[in-house]
């Protein structure tokens, strides 16, 4: 215990826990001194209990694992974080993934198959490598385009002018952003946020204050609730995430404040142009051209 290693512990109150058919979630609480890192459930009325045995790692690659199992009844668990991208198969048949110990990647072995070799691979790796290759090709094309000799020519550049985005594009961008960031709940929150911003179109200072308050509130939540805690992971809380989402959508659809054009300066455009406010009459005694 002084070294911080895992030690076996047994609950004092061993009342049976009823599990429903399908997926069940059992939470093990902790305190400042102890926290559970694994839980073993024993079936009531059965003498046999769960046993843990080693497996033979035949081959281990960056994104592949080849494991030899000596049983066809039970779970295969690897020391890998659970990720939907991991895929396991034996004899060409896929295995059902499960979460072991709350974080480990596991699969349920098929009872109708003999002990065999289990092949594990990270399926998204193919798409990842194709994306890297495409990025490399585009980078080479960009460099080649920059180094390609071009004929020099003169071209007058048009000065960019400020341009306000219309109401309809702003609303569409806000709704699309909310849906992409948070799914259907984000789409609904974006619709409400867009409506609120449209109602307060003239209160530009008020909108900025509300946006800043939302971001500040989300930041204070994470300050008061650390990410790593025995009471839970603060990153799973949706309220601060929705607060930031509201702030982002409000900034996207917030109309720009109206600007007053500066007064045009009036002055001579040529040596022969008359000066504003000065007399255009030739003073007496001045020499004539």
Residue pLDDT, tens place only, 225-245: 765 555 556 677 888 889 999
The reply to whether 285 falls in a domain is: no
CA angle 151, 156, 158 (to 5 degrees): 130
pLDDT of residue 266: 46
Is 42 within the bounds of a domain?
Answer: yes
- What mean pLDDT do residues 41-53 have? 62
Predicted pLDDT at 281: 55
Q: Do 173 and 222 sit in the same domain of this protein?
A: yes
Residue 158 clears pLDDT 70, i.e. is over it: yes
- Whether 69 has a pLDDT exceeding 80, the answer reads yes
Higher-pLDDT residue of 46 and 221 is: 221
Q: How would you label 150-181 residue by residue, b for 16+ Cβ within 10 Å and e otherwise?
A: eeeeeeeeeeeeeeeeeeeebbebbbebbbeb
Contact between 240 and 218 (Cβ < 8 Å):
yes
The answer to the question of residue 149 being in a domain is no
Q: Is residue 30 part of a domain?
A: yes
Q: Are 106 and 183 in a shared domain?
A: no
| Structural domain of 55 | 25-142
Q: pLDDT: is 215 or 163 the higher one? A: 215
CA nearest neighbour of 168 among 198, 193, 206? 198
Same-domain check for residues 40 and 133: yes
Q: Are residues 39 and 127 in the same domain?
A: yes
**Higher pLDDT among residues 248 and 49, named by residue:** 248
124 and 177 part of one domain: no
- For the segment 173-186, the average pLDDT, to the nearest whole number, is 88
**Residue 245 and residue 179 in contact, taking contact as beta carbons nearer than 8 Å:** no
> What percent of the chain lies above the pLDDT cut of 70?
74
* 37 lies in the same domain as 104: yes
In this predicted model, which residue has the larger pLDDT, 114 or 222?
222
Using the 8-state DSSP alphabet, how is residue 107 labeled?
Answer: E
- What does the pLDDT read at residue 104? 86
- How distant, in Å, are the alpha carbons of 58, 86, 111, 117, 230 from that of 72? 17, 20, 5, 11, 36
* Residues forming beta bridges with residue 78, ordered by sequence position: 105
Q: Concatenate the DSSP letters of all residues of 255-275 into one string.
A: PPPP-PPPPPP---SSTTSPP
Helical packing angle, 239-253 and 204-224, nearest 10°: 160
Same domain, 100 and 33: yes
Residue 171 belongs to a domain = yes
Question: Is 127 in the same domain as 206?
Answer: no
Contacts (Cβ under 8 Å, ≥6 apart) of 81: 103, 104, 105
Judged against a pLDDT cut of 90, whether residue 134 lies above it is answered with: yes
Domain assignment present for 48: yes
Q: Do residues 178 and 137 share a domain?
A: no
Is residue 127 domain-resident? yes
Taking CA atoms, 17 is separated from 23, 26, 38, 44, 283, in Å, by: 14, 9, 16, 9, 110
Stretch among 188-197, 220-229, 252-261 having the lowest mean pLDDT: 252-261
For residues 154-173, give the mean pLDDT. Answer: 76
My answer on whether 35 and 134 are in the same domain is: yes
pLDDT value at position 264? 47
Give the total number of structural domains in the chain: 2
Q: Are residues 78 and 125 in the same domain?
A: yes
Mean pLDDT, the chain, whole residue set? 77
Q: Which residue has the tokens 């607060």?
A: 243
Residue 7, domain member (yes or no): no
pLDDT reported for residue 36: 77
pTM: predicted TM-score of the whole model, two decimal places: 0.42
Contacts of 134 by beta carbon, 8 Å cutoff, 6+ apart:
none
């Amino acid at each position: 215990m002084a070294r911080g290693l895992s030690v076996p512990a047994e609950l004092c109150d061993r009342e049976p826990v009823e599990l429903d058919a399908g997926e069940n979630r059992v939470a093990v609480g902790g305190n400042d001194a102890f926290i559970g890192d694994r839980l073993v459930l024993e079936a009531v009325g059965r003498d046999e209990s769960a046993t843990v045995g080693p497996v033979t790692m035949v081959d281990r690659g960056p994104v592949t694992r080849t494991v030899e199992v000596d049983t066809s009844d039970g779970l295969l668990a690897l020391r890998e974080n659970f990720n939907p991208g991991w895929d396991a198969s034996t004899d060409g048949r896929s295995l059902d993934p499960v979460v072991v110990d709350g974080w480990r990647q596991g699969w349920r072995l098929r009872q109708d198959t003999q002990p065999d070799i289990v092949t594990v691979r990270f399926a998204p790796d193919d798409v990842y490598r194709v994306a890297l290759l495409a990025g490399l090709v585009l980078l080479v094309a960009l460099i080649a385009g920059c180094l390609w000799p071009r004929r020099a020519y003169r071209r007058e550049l048009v000065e960019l002018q400020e341009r306000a985005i219309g109401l309809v594009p702003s609303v569409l961008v806000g709704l699309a952003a909310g849906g992409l960031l948070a799914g259907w709940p984000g789409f609904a929150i974006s619709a409400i946020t867009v409506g609120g911003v449209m109602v307060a179109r003239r209160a530009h200072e008020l909108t900025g204050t509300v946006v800043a308050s939302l971001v500040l509130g989300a930041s204070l939540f994470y300050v008061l609730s650390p990410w790593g805690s025995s009471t839970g992971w603060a990153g799973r809380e949706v309220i601060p995430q929705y607060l930031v989402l509201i702030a982002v959508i409000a900034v996207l659809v917030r109309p720009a404040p109206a600007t007053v054009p500066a007064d045009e300066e009036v002055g001579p455009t040529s040596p022969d142009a008359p000066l504003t406010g000065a007399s255009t009459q030739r003073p007496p005694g001045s020499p004539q051209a």
